[in-house]
Structure 1
Amino acid sequence: MSALPVNLERRRKRSTQTITALTLQLEHIFEREHLRNFTLGDSRGLVIAQAGDSAESDILAAYAPLLCRSTEKGHRERILARMPQFVPGIESDAIHVKSFEVDGEPLFLTIVGQPGVYRHVGMYRAVTGVRRILGQIPPA
């Protein structure tokens, strides 16, 4: 009787370097969800990792904390209205920002892509992946 090897590891590309691992995580979801951009930034508006155009990621990381903090709908709309000046062709309904914490530090994931449930699934996968990579939760 022959036994087939069972490979439980889903991840194909891996790295022991944190920034490279974060980038690979974002690139995987970026490709899978056919996104325009996927950026992980910090509370100062700096890019930690990104998939997509790097100049676009710089702008998205800078605006992410502002978008998450703006609770007034009109204020958020004014911020989004300025974005096409820096990111040509971007539409406000294509941007989704999620804030979360790792070790008490706020981080921000920004997706630019078609609106829909799959975009939110990609966001959830990215948050869990980032936390895993940064040692917040054990690997599955």
Structure 2
Amino acid sequence: MHKPLIATTLFVLAATSTPALAVCPVCNAAVRFNQTLAACFQTRVDGELRRLRAEGRGFVIVDLSDCKKVGDRGGLPTGPVKDAAAPALDASFVADDAGLRCLGDAIATHPGELDPSVLFDLTRICS
């Protein structure tokens, strides 16, 4: 009979015992961009921060899937076939305020061009 009360109490205790600066539990721990997605994110980060405040959830789902590929004219590929084992890029991800700001700063200070081998580990660089 008291199982719902016990579960609720345990949830409240777990939620209140986490540190104030804990990582968002639903947010991506890492994000992988290429140069195009990184540039697109940089142009949208301020808008995502405004949306985050307006929605009041504590996180936003960032969707960069409509970002155009540099040099994409819609023709057939002419170069070598890309490696099927190439790391997948994150055209959408979940982030909180700290994650958005940290990722924006990490992209701005990243030396050189970004390729899919660059992984922004938010749990490491945003702590």
* TM-score normalised to structure 2 length: 0.33
**Higher RCO, Cα 8 Å, sep 6+:** 2
More helix by share: 1
Structure with max Cα Rg: 2
- TM-score, length-scaled by structure 1: 0.31
